[in-house]
Structure 1
Amino acid sequence: MTTLLVSLTLALTLLATPALATGVPQPEGYRLSDYRSPTPDGVTGATTVDTPAVQALVSRGRIIPIFVQRLERSTLPGGPWLQSKPYRQIPGSVWLPNVGVGAPDAATLGWFESNLERLTGGDRARDLLFYCLSDCWLSWNAAKRAVLLGYARVHWYPTGIDGWMEAGLPTEEAHPLPPPAAAAP
């Protein structure tokens, strides 16, 4: 019986212990490739949040969840996003594709900045939540970019929609905002 109690105590302790740090260093700049790979434990200047924290932030209704999954774009002038499959997002999210790529073009950067300005009403202290999929540098890059733009309450959700869905939380179909205007030749 004592062995069973010790085993149960050990098992409960292991379940309650937070995940070990990844040991992945934060790059000085942005991640430029291999976006689906282990990420650092945080983003300098941002708050790293887990699923219960995101749930609490969303339930308060003050945070703006921003989904940053990448999408290809038509090569036609002013072409639309090419969405090959449906995506799910945290309810109430805004999908800004490609704002987390390491070196976005000037039109995408301007589009990101103007959408953050519009979504926050110019309030740089407004809570922003950046997420993508688990092990995805796109959300890390986007959160870092928002911090460097002067947003003071940036939250990064590293397990993203995968962690949200694994917890059995509600989702909605994701629809990307219209793409930025094509850069002038």
Structure 2
Amino acid sequence: MRRIAAATGLLLAWLAETAVAESYGSIRERRPDLFHPESGYRIARHRAPVPDDIPLPVRRVSALWARTLLDRGALALDVFGASQSRFDELDGTWLVSEPRMSLPGAVWLPEVGRGVLEPMIERYLQRELERATGGKKAHAVVVFCVADCWMSWNAAQRIAALGYLQVHWYPHGTDGWADLGWRLEPVEPVPVGLD
């Protein structure tokens, strides 16, 4: 029975990966108001179908490849937004209204996938990436959120722009992982260091 479930999960993953999706260029051409004119990051309606592509050097990866990367020690970086999009100004803890289930061993950095970041959140992303990778720009990073969320698309490019050399975008995120029957575990958002 387990083998049938595993085979079904793999078939679903393959179908999801081969589904026809629109390219970034065609989405941006059709709806330029949703994108930052200079950076090209999505700035509005982050919860919408994502494109089938992402600019290099970031690489789009399937669930199977994401799992292989994580098994080899890649950083699982969850960029799901905090439900209230704010943190406590006194101690930097995120205000979240419900628990987040994520990929095993993930580091959760809320709000770093927005189209435009506040300077404090930019510094937060840089500092926590450096901490999580041991300062190694060649350390592989798998960036994800949930299915149909542009925050992981934005964040993956932002991380590559910071000089990280092995940035992988897993667009199906925790939804795709769960659909395959793979284990998710509770994760707490990393507090914002108050500068």
TM interval, shorter chain, is 0.7 to 0.9
Pairwise CA distance, 1:87: 1.2
Residue of structure 2 equivalent to 1:11: none
**Given the two structures, how large is their TM-score scaled by the length of structure 1?**
0.83
Question: Per-residue deviation at 1:42?
Answer: 2.5
Amino acid at match of 1:159: H
The one of 46, 64, 71 equivalent to 1:35 is 46
The counterpart of 2:164, out of the listed 151, 155, 168, is 151
The answer for the alignment partner of 1:85 in structure 2 is 98
Q: Does 1:119 align with 2:132?
A: yes
TM-score, with normalisation over the residues of structure 2? 0.79
Mind listing any 5+ residue stretches in structure 1 that lack a counterpart? 1-13
Alpha-carbon separation, structure 2, partners of 1:54 and 1:75: 33
Q: Which amino acid aligns with 1:68?
A: V
Q: Deviations over 1:4-54 (max 9, x none)?
A: xxxxxxxxxx96992223234266521111000111223211110111111
Rg larger for: 1
SS in 2 for 1:73: coil
Which residue of 2 is the match for residue 64 of structure 1?
75
**What is the aligned partner in structure 2 of residue 110 from structure 1?**
123
Identity in percent:
38
Q: Distance in 2 between matches of 1:15 and 1:100?
A: 26
1:19 maps to 19
- Alpha-carbon spacing, 1:15–1:176, altered in 2? closer, same or farther (3 Å): closer
The one-letter code of the counterpart of 2:64 is P
Q: In structure 2, how many angstroms separate the alpha carbons of the residues matched to 1:175 and 1:116?
A: 16
Q: 2:194 aligns with which of 160, 165, 181?
A: 181
Residue 175 to residue 17, structure 1, CA distance change in 2 (3 Å): closer
In angstroms, what is the RMSD of aligned CA positions?
A: 2.1
> 2: CA distance between counterparts of 1:110 and 1:67?
17
Moved over 4 A (4+): 14-17, 74-79
- Pair 1:38–1:102, CA change in 2 (3 A): same
Map Cα deviations across residues 91-142 of structure 1 (whole Å, 9 max, x no partner).
0100001110111110110110111111112211110010000010110111
Moved more, 114-123 or 87-96: 114-123
Structure 1 residues 143 and 74, CA gap change in structure 2 (3 angstroms): closer
